[in-house]
Amino acid sequence: HDKRSIRNTEFESMAAGLTFATLLSGLLAPNRMANLKQATTNAVKRSAAVRRHGNVQLSGEWVLDTTKSSHGALRPFLIACGAPRVFAGPLARKFDSDHLVLKAEGDEVTIETPRSGWSLPIKLQTDATYSRHKETIVATPRGPQRASLVTASHAPMAVEIIKLGPSEGEFVTEHYVTTDDGNLEQQLTHRAADGRTEVVVRRVFKRVASV
């Protein structure tokens, strides 16, 4: 029964990812579409692997594990997304002190980063709800992105979000996965419009509360 359930879940996740990529094929130039399809395929593979091994719920309030994450690791990612270099370092260190709140319910996932006594000096949206069935517009320093949830909602230990734009062919993926030791692993990937330049940041969080 467990093996049959895993196979069904993998099939549904792959179908969701392929449907998402197909709908976008009319919006992106052909030479950019290959990058998005590869990102979607990787998302399906990662979530399928996690469902076989993980058993910790994704929903919760998390804080950065400084013993397993580099201080200010977000700096190159923030620069790639349009943050001025003069702000990127201090911003990355401020984000290290913030909690991360995730709520996975049905076909939606809400991600929030409550500020710890500071405010953003640039237009960068960090709180949003993402759905498998509709796009969410997310603000960035260089313009809006169109974001959607890719992975299946009934995979409570892993989700993947794809954000298209602001430039044609440019996109960001956010991958969150919980592991058997109770940690939350975050992987943020920015792919530039040229299809070759990529920035990848990985951070590890530990749970501080349930939501």
Give pLDDT tens digits for 193-210.
998 899 999 999 999 998
Q: What is the mean pLDDT of the chain?
A: 78
Can you give the pLDDT at residue 34? 58
Give pLDDT tens digits for 44-53.
554 444 443 3
Identify which has the larger pLDDT, 104 or 9.
104
Can you give the pLDDT at residue 27? 44
CA 35 to chain centre: 16
Instruction: Compute how many other C-beta atoms are within 10 angstroms of the C-beta atom of residue 3.
Output: 8
Question: 41 pLDDT exceeds 50?
Answer: yes
Residue percentage of the chain with pLDDT more than 70 = 68
Identify which has the larger pLDDT, 73 or 181.
73
Torsion of CA 102, 130, 178, 118, to 10 degrees: -40
Can you give the pLDDT at residue 101? 95
Identify which has the larger pLDDT, 115 or 25.
115
Identify which has the larger pLDDT, 104 or 145.
145
Question: 21 pLDDT exceeds 50?
Answer: no
Can you give the pLDDT at residue 36? 57
Residue 179 pLDDT level (bands cut at 50, 70, 90): confident
Q: Edge-to-edge, what's the strand order for the sheet holding 198-209?
A: 128-131, 108-112, 100-105, 60-64, 198-209, 183-191, 171-178, 158-164, 145-149, 136-138
φ and ψ at 69, to 5 degrees? Answer: -130, 140
Average pLDDT rounded to a whole number, residues 10-22: 42
